[in-house]
Structure formats: C-alpha cells, structure tokens
Chains A and B, each alone.
Chain A
Amino acid sequence: MTADPSGLAELYLRHRAELARFLAARTGSREEAEDIVQELWLKLNGADSGPVANGRAYLYRMAQNLVLDRIRERSRRGARERLWQDEEIGYQAGEAMDARSNPEAEAAEREEVALVASAIAALPEGARRAFRLHKIDGLSHSEVAERLGISRSGVEKHIAVAMKHLRQRLAD
C-alpha cells in the first residue's frame, strides 16, 4: 500500500487485536478469525476508498460482511463446517474447499425464497407493512416511521417480529 487516504490501514493496525477478538467470537474459531483478519487487510489494500466517517465501525462492518460471505458459502455446501480440533494450531484432512456454484443449493434457495415470500404475505399487518417498506422497498427506519405514523423504535420492533416469523417459518 503506497497511500492511505482513508486512514483505514492505520486504523486496521490499531484495531487488529480487537477485530481478531470480535471475529473469534463471531465465528467461534480463532483460526478462522485470523484468516478473516488477513482477508480484511487484503480488502483494505485493494479498496479505493475515500474518507470514511467512522473508520472503526466501518472495519467492523467489513469484518461482519466477510463472516457473512463465509456462513453463506458454508450453508450452501450443506453446512460441512471446517472443524479445527486445536484452537492454536489446527489441522484437518486436506481438501480444497471450493466455492463453486452448486445446483442443489440453488434449487433449495429458490424454494426458500418462495417460502419467505408466502411468509411475508402472512405476517401480522403492522410487521408486514414495516418489513416490506424497509427490506423490500429500501426505505430507512425513519422513512418507514414517517410513512406509517409510528416511532422508529416501533418500526424496529415490527421488523424484529417479522424476522422472527420468517425465521420460524424457514425452520419448520
């Protein structure tokens, strides 16, 4: 890295330890946390970012997204988790963990999307309207609050209720 206009590289170095701690808690694996901390560094080097308002939160969010990429891939592979027997220096039977697309996983996901659609349609009215405006139409919490004439915390509660219904529907 030759320049650090956003100051993120410096922030990364300063917060590396706490990011690793967060990632270990978030993934349940210190090994995986280290991998993601490295990936984060790689992303920062590749990113052409302008000034960032809250750099620390930005780094956490990037880390959180990298975790999401992994759990998404993992759920696609049929939850074949990487298991590290030893938290310090782990090892496992060696196979390339390939992230190729998987027709079975795609078919399963199509079914899930259809299920989510019907579950949204069946939500209690307040939760359905708030969820739809925020998650599908992309309005912010404040915009949804204004549109529905309720408080922001009311919107958050509606959305939590909606997510809970949808999750239970998928878990059935």
Chain B
Amino acid sequence: MKETILDQALAWHGALAGDQADWDGFTRWLEADPSHREAFDSVALLDDLVDRHRPTLAALLPPDPESRSAPRSRRLRGFAGGGAIAAGIAALLVLFRPEAAVPPTWYATANLTREIALADGSRVALAASSRLGVAARGKELILAGTASFDVPHRPGRVLTVHAGGVDLQDIGTRFEVSTGPGALSVAVAEGRLTARLADGQTVGVVGGHRLLVDSRNGSAELRPFAPRDYAAWRSGRLVYDNAPLALVAADVARFAGKGIRISPDLSSRRFSGVLTIGDGSGLVRTLAQFMDLDVRPEGHGVRLVPRGAGGRRIR
C-alpha cells in the first residue's frame, strides 16, 4: 500500500467525521482505485478497534496530565506505578468484551437447492445461486434470489421477509418468492400475506394467487395460478404467466449458473411459458428461442438482445 493512498484514506476518515462530509467526493475517490477502499478499510478497522476498547486503552496508558483520567486508570496508577502497560495487559482480560452488534447470518447457495430450518420452526428452500439473510433472531429475513417458505401458523408471530424492495408481512403458511433486478414475484400456495411495496402501497395476496411487481413501471398485478405450478423449480420446471423478462432472466441466470444481462429495449417484454431446467445448460438458449432473442457473450456471462438487432457482436 502506497503511503500517499494511506494519507488520503486518513484524510477522508477525518473529514467524514465532520458535519460537512463530502460523501459524493468520497464515493468518487473510492471508485478511482480499489486500493483506496483497502486503505480506508484498514483505517476504519483501526479506528473501530480504538473505539471499542477505549476503557481498556485508557487503563493501559500511562497517566497524562492533560488527560481526564478514567477512574479505572487512577486505580491502576495506584498499584502499578508509572509505566503501567505490562500490568495493564492483565486488565485487558477483564475489560475485553466482544462486539455486540452482529450482522445478519447469510446463507448462500451455489448450484443446488438448500433446505434451511429456522429456529422458530419455519423452513426455507433456497434455490440455486440465491442468498438468504437471517436477522433479528429470525424475525427478519432478507432474500436475494428464489426461495419457498413454509411458515407454520402461530398466533402473535412477527416475521418479515424483505425482498427486492418489497416487505412481506402478516405471513401465514406457504409461499414462494423470486427476485430479479427491479422485479419480484410472490406466489402464495396456502394462507395469505401482505406485500408492502416500495411506494408504501400494500397488497394482500391469498392462496392460489401470484403477485408480480415490476418497479420499472410501478406495476403490481395479481394473477391466479394452478397448484401444480407452485414452486415448480423444485421439480425441475420454471413456469411463467406474463412475467417481466427481468424476473425470468434472473431465474434462468440462477439455474444456469451464469450472469445474464438484458438489453434496455427488452425491459418491457413479458414471458409466458414453461422452461425445463435440466442441468441448466440449455435454459438460456431455450428462453432466447421462445422470445426470439439473440444471445451474445459478455464478460463471464451473456447479454440477451432483440434478434437481428443492429450493431456489432461483442467479442
């Protein structure tokens, strides 16, 4: 790490503590080079270490006439004399407390579905390439990807699932959720739930209905679905009824295990039909055939574009 970058990181760290913090400038500085982030991380971790162990450090440091000594350091001074570092190390063992704030526990899947049993008896089947965060002792779940939930009815249960900018509340029994960039699908097999959309609007979803949210145009629509199509991915199929392409592409990306981008002029397209997952390798091609699209390699993944769209092939 270059000294100059560390100096910049220190300057930003100091500046951000002030009232007039320039967050846009800080963002641009971080974006300029990944090493800036690493330098800033090291500074932030050090600062955090000092903050969390302030009483310990106060006790360990030799007395300073300018310093408002903590009562503890006065006591230490009494028995340890001037250079109290060595004696103070023993105090560390007593004063040290692990950090209390714990971020959510994240579960992540690769190419297989995984069953997760939560402490309250709820069960989650997390599809391939999906992530589930469990926070607030299991009362708050965060989903990115596809999952089905089996939540036994219990009076007074407070469970919220946060997915794709939508909060699912008043949850009873079985439902599946799938997220894509700017799109979300929630299908309730049994019971009901309430979806609170990003704009504050709430929508009740009852058994046998699927809610499709497309935040690009602010649409939210309910459609009935056949019981055999509930969480069909668990039996090797993806079933769609007028679903936003962003959502379909996100599902296909998960089960194919490759990144998919869709060109902006396709964002309003919708898809109805059934895709067979198989080993995932044929999904992209099948979807492209159904929707009359071209598949172009891009980075580690592919981009879907309208068939015969002008312009050069990427690579």
A residues within 8 Å of B by Cβ? Answer: 1, 13, 16, 18, 21-22, 25-28, 31, 34-35, 38-39, 41-42, 45-46, 54, 56-57, 60, 64, 66, 68-73, 75, 82, 85-99, 101, 106, 109-110, 112-114, 116-118, 120-121, 128-129, 132-133, 135-138, 141, 147-148, 156, 159-160, 163-164, 166-167, 170-171
Please report the C-alpha to C-alpha distance between residue A26 and residue B260 in the assembled complex, in whole angstroms: 24
Task: Of the listed stretches B149-157, B251-259, B285-293, name the one at the interface; the rest are far from the partner chain.
Answer: B251-259
Q: B residues within 8 A CB of A138?
A: 54
B49-106 residues at the A interface, CB under 8 angstroms: 49-51, 53-54, 56-58, 60-62, 64, 66-68, 85, 88-89, 92-93, 96, 98-99, 101-106
- Answer whether A72 and B48 are a contact pair too, CB < 8 Å, given A95-B108, A118-B85, A136-B58: yes
- Answer whether A57 and B103 are a contact pair too, CB < 8 Å, given A26-B30, A68-B44: no
- Answer whether A164 and B7 are a contact pair too, CB < 8 Å, given A71-B41, A71-B44: yes
Asked if B103 contacts A94 (CB within 8 A), the reply is no
B195 proximal to A (CB < 8 A) = no
Asked if A94 contacts B109 (CB within 8 A), the reply is yes
22 A-B pairs with C-beta separation under 8 A: A13-B199, A22-B23, A25-B31, A26-B40, A38-B133, A39-B103, A39-B104, A41-B162, A41-B165, A46-B136, A57-B19, A88-B253, A89-B129, A94-B108, A96-B105, A97-B107, A113-B92, A133-B66, A133-B67, A137-B58, A159-B14, A163-B46
Please report the C-alpha to C-alpha distance between residue A85 and residue B53 in the assembled complex, in whole angstroms: 36
Asked if B301 contacts A86 (CB within 8 A), the reply is yes
- A35 is contacted by which of B56, B93, B144, B259 (Cβ under 8 Å)? B144
Q: B residues within 8 A CB of A38?
A: 133, 142, 144, 162
Asked if A121 contacts B41 (CB within 8 A), the reply is no
Asked if A86 contacts B162 (CB within 8 A), the reply is no
- A117 is contacted by which of B41, B88, B108, B114 (Cβ under 8 Å)? B88
Asked if B27 contacts A129 (CB within 8 A), the reply is no
B residues within 8 Å of A by Cβ? Answer: 6-7, 10-11, 13-14, 16, 18-19, 21, 23-24, 26-27, 30-31, 34, 37, 40-51, 53-54, 56-58, 60-62, 64, 66-68, 85, 88-89, 92-93, 96, 98-99, 101-112, 114, 126, 128-129, 131, 133, 135-136, 140, 142, 144, 162, 165, 167, 196, 198-200, 250, 253-254, 257-261, 299-301
Closest chain A residue to B28, Cβ basis:
A25
Asked if B98 contacts A101 (CB within 8 A), the reply is yes
Q: A residues within 8 A CB of B61?
A: 117, 120-121, 132, 136
Q: B residues within 8 A CB of A99?
A: 102-103, 105
Please report the C-alpha to C-alpha distance between residue A73 and residue B308 in the assembled complex, in whole angstroms: 49
